[in-house]
Amino acid sequence: MSQFDMNERGKSASRQSIGFEALKKFSSATATLASIDFQGRLVRRDGFNPVQNDMEGQGRPGWAFEYHNAYLDLYNVLNPLLSDEQRSATVGHFNLRAGRFYVPFGLNLQTDTHGTVLQLSNDRNFGFERDWYTGFWGAINPHVNYDVYYLAGSGYDLKFKGQSGLGAIRISLANKYSYEYGLEGGLSILGGERLSPDAITRRQTLARDAGSENRVATKRVGLDGRYRQAVPTGLLTVTSELSGGRDLSSTVFTQLYQAEYLRASRQWGVSVQYRRFQQEGLGADASIIGEVSWYFRNDIGNSNLHWIKLNVERQLEQMQGPHSTIATLQYYFYQ
């Protein structure tokens, strides 16, 4: 990936990266038992602008090796304890995940935003879009899936500095609704303590409550949905994530609305996103973002991707500092 960005005052930044993904499944004679996934990349950063897809990059100038996904899935983990009848009744119900993956809140768990410039709201909402966690996922019934996890709440690095961690539950529509009706959606609940220097820096008064380790008592409830509709010339998708809760004693409210059009040839698309993160006593960060994409390859399963994107973000409200306009040009290749 090669990305260049610049704000209206001429401050420029760039990020170059080359990486890999390793996915391996393990099977017995009659069952697929487990899989592991690891994404790593070598990154070079020069300068920094707060572009959505690199909010964690501010602290890593120059060369860095980064990991992204790093997790193990064990499928139908209760099978060794069950009879054939019980296995039949519970197939797909109890899968275990351990490692680093998208925070199980909102649509990010079912959306691959690894390469995209436009992101969903978790990074801004929690200070990280991926975390270290373990727990169960699967189907409750043919209509509804679940995810139940304990998260370390530490973001990029797995570390414990006195935080209790986070508990998260997500209930979402089964995939058949996406394929048959173009509809995805879910309800997420998350609570506990996370480490978030950004949240503390934003409000020094909160630092007194948090102590010296940037621990933030966190509560969130979120509702999300995405609807995909074929139109005569392509595909129209509308997305929304809404969440409310508290960071320490401050109430927070996050909104994200996005509309995308993808040409039937899957060769080009346009997107627009409005996002707003409001925190009690501090005001809000809000942006409107437009993006044009040209795809050389745009595999529906995200296994073969090759594109150029031009993304322009206009900050409408800022808790701190002046409003900026940031233009980002991205070249991305994944095979």
Partner 1 sequence: MKSIILFMLFAVLAMPQQAFAAIGCTLSNPAEDLKYLYPEMTTYKEDLNEFPLLKDGTELFRALRERLGSDLDPIYETYETPYTVYSVFKGQQKIGVVHGVNVPGKGGVIQVFLSMDPQAGAIRKFFFQRLESPAARQLRSKEFLSQFEGLTLGDFYKHDYYATVDPGAKADKVAAITPPAFDPSGRPDYEASLRGIRKNLILVDFFVYGKKFEPYFERAKQAAEKAKARKE
Residues making contact with partner 1 (CB under 8 A): 2, 4, 6, 12, 14, 25, 27-32, 75-76, 79, 84, 87-88, 91-93, 95, 138-139, 142, 145, 174-176, 178-180, 230, 232, 235, 264, 266, 296-297, 299-301, 303-304, 306, 308, 329, 331, 333, 335
For the bound state, the minimum distance from the C-beta of residue 189 to partner 1, rounded and expressed in Å, comes to 22
Residue 257 contacts residue 227 (beta carbons within 8 Å): no
Instruction: For residues 32 and 190, give the distance between their C-alpha atoms in angstroms, rounded to a whole number.
Output: 31
Instruction: For residues 34 and 134, give the distance between their C-alpha atoms in angstroms, rounded to a whole number.
Output: 15
Give the residue with the Cβ less far from partner 1, 159 or 176. 176
Instruction: For residues 35 and 75, give the distance between their C-alpha atoms in angstroms, rounded to a whole number.
Output: 8
For the bound state, the minimum distance from the C-beta of residue 114 to partner 1, rounded and expressed in Å, comes to 17
Give the residue with the Cβ less far from partner 1, 80 or 321. 80
Give the residue with the Cβ less far from partner 1, 28 or 204. 28
Give the residue with the Cβ less far from partner 1, 167 or 234. 234
Give the residue with the Cβ less far from partner 1, 13 or 166. 13
| Burial class of residue 310 (count of CB atoms within 10 Å of its CB; 0-12, 13-18, 19+) | middle
For the bound state, the minimum distance from the C-beta of residue 2 to partner 1, rounded and expressed in Å, comes to 6
For the bound state, the minimum distance from the C-beta of residue 287 to partner 1, rounded and expressed in Å, comes to 22
For the bound state, the minimum distance from the C-beta of residue 104 to partner 1, rounded and expressed in Å, comes to 16
Residue 316 contacts residue 286 (beta carbons within 8 Å): yes
Those residues with Cβ within 8 angstroms of residue 75's Cβ, 6 or more apart along the chain or in another chain: 31, 32, 33, 34, 35, 95
Give the residue with the Cβ less far from partner 1, 21 or 213. 21
For the bound state, the minimum distance from the C-beta of residue 247 to partner 1, rounded and expressed in Å, comes to 34
For the bound state, the minimum distance from the C-beta of residue 105 to partner 1, rounded and expressed in Å, comes to 20
DSSP letters for 86-140: HHHHHTTT-EEEEEEEE-SSGGGGGS--SS-SS--SHHHHHS-SEEEEEEEEEEE
Instruction: For residues 167 and 149, give the distance between their C-alpha atoms in angstroms, rounded to a whole number.
Output: 6
Cα dihedral 295, 297, 299, 305 in deg (nearest 10): -90
- The 3-class SS string of 251-264 reads EEEEEEEEEEEEEC
